[in-house]
Every structure is written in structure tokens, then in C-alpha cells.
Amino acid sequence: MACHALLVQIGVLGATGPAGRGIAARLASLGYEVLAGSRALERSESAVLALQEKWGNKVKTLFPVDNDSAANCEMVIVATNWEAAVDTTILYSSALAGRTVIAMANGLEKVGQEFRPVIPPEGSLSAAIQAAAPEAKVVAAFQHIPASTFAALDKKMEGDVVVCGDDDDARNVVLDLVASMPDLRGFDAGSLVNAVGIETFAADLLSINLRHKGKGTLRFLGLEGYLPEANR
């Protein structure tokens, strides 16, 4: 698939973890140029090599870099585990200024056989990431897509992606990104304050999947997903 005109490069902070590896590989398989970042370049090189050995040309546009390089892309995805997301954002806040930054993590803790949301003082993890990089354009997205679903390039992704953020243009860019991913639909949920509902529901979804031994995602009935302007 040809590289999309939507974006030239997408940087992934924390691309050696499950979520980071998964979304980086999936985006590369769709033709995006993806810079897979890590605190240590050697870890990124190892992770990208493993993906290349597994998927071959499907991830030919995936490149290992350090987090400094990933943070300077047009769009940046914070894909670290939730405990490290805010600190990572603070570390690269200057580089992230003016950029579209996707927050995809959920604050969660496992209690017995259930997951429960962890809500920071800012109201959501996405809002905390925005506070950590106040000049970035933070958009919450992909909270309900399992990392393993992103990573399984030989299988279709099915689900709906709820997207919210305070910058209208950045939110639409992320909705365009979702629309370019086959079998995913994007839904505009407005401003970033609404991320709290998106993130807390992820705990319920994980608990349901655990009890039912599945990998269910979110799907809205009776609604059409977002369409890029060119397709309206």
C-alpha cells in the first residue's frame, strides 16, 4: 500500500512495549513511515528486527530510533505503559510543542479478577498528558483496541475508536488516521474533558474480556463513523 498523504512520519514513544510495538507495526503495514522510539536505541533496533523477521515487507516502513527522534515527528503517539506516560511526555514536552500527540493509554489496576480505573487529579490520563505538554495538541484515541489486535497483522481489526481533543484540526487528523485503517471506524467525542469516560470504560471492557475469555472491542449500532472530507 502506498504511503498516505495524510502524514509523512508518525513517531511512537515507547515502541518496544506491547501497545507501542502493535500500533507501530500496524501503521507501517498500512504504508505509513513510522519511527519506533525507545529510551535506548538498541532496544528499538531489537524490537524492529523481530517485527521485520516476523512480517517481512509488511513493516518495511518501520524504522528504529530513540525517543528523541520519535518525538520530532509530525504526529507522535505516547504508547508507553500508563505509569510512564506522563513522565515520558514531560521529558519531551518541548519537542512535542505544536504537534498532534495521541494519548492511547488507560490508567488501570487489577484487583482480583477485575480491572479498575485509576483517575489522576487532572481527570483523565489524557488530560494529564496534555498538562505535561501544554503546547502540544493532545488527542485521546485507541483506548479500546487491545495491543494484541494491533499486532496481529494477518487478521482484521474490527471496532470503533472514540476520539476526543481540544484542538479541532488535530482531532480531525486523528479521525482521518482512524478512517485509513480498514475495519475501524472513528467517532468524534468532542473535547478532551470527555476522555475520562473513554478511559474508565476501558476497565469495564477488560473485565468483560477477562470473564468471557475474549478480546472484544467497542462497536456502536445505529451510527455512521467519521468520513474524511474527501469522501463526504
Q: pLDDT grade, residue 214 (50/70/90)?
A: confident
Q: CATH number, domain at 59? A: 3.40.50.720
Task: Give residue-wise pLDDT tens across range 54-113.
Answer: 999 999 999 999 999 999 999 999 999 999 999 999 999 999 999 999 999 999 998 888
82 inside domain: yes
Strands (E), the chain: 9-13, 33-36, 62-64, 75-78, 100-103, 108-111, 114-117, 137-140, 159-165, 184-188
Residue 39: all three cell numbers together: 529510551
Q: pLDDT grade, residue 8 (50/70/90)?
A: low
- Alpha-carbon gap, residue 22 to 35, rounded angstroms: 13
Judged by DSSP in three states, 164 sits in: strand
- Alpha-carbon gap, residue 142 to 130, rounded angstroms: 16
Of 34, 20, 105, nearest in space to 70 by CA:
34
- Provide the domain limits for residue 38: 9-214
Report phi then psi at 115, rounded to 5.
Answer: -105, 140
80 inside domain: yes
1 inside domain: no
30 inside domain: yes
Given strand 75-78, what is the order of strands in its sheet?
A: 62-64, 33-36, 9-13, 75-78, 100-103, 137-140, 159-165, 184-188
Q: pLDDT grade, residue 231 (50/70/90)?
A: low
The rounded mean pLDDT for the chain is: 93
Q: What is the mean pLDDT of residues 154-169?
A: 96
148 inside domain: yes
Residue with more model confidence, 6 or 106: 106
Task: Give residue-wise pLDDT tens across range 150-160.
Answer: 999 999 999 99
Q: What is the mean pLDDT of residues 224-232?
A: 76
105 inside domain: yes
- The answer to whether residue 201 scores a pLDDT higher than 60 is yes
- Alpha-carbon gap, residue 119 to 82, rounded angstroms: 11
Number of structural domains the chain divides into: 1
pLDDT computed for residue 1 by the predictor: 35
153 inside domain: yes
224 inside domain: no
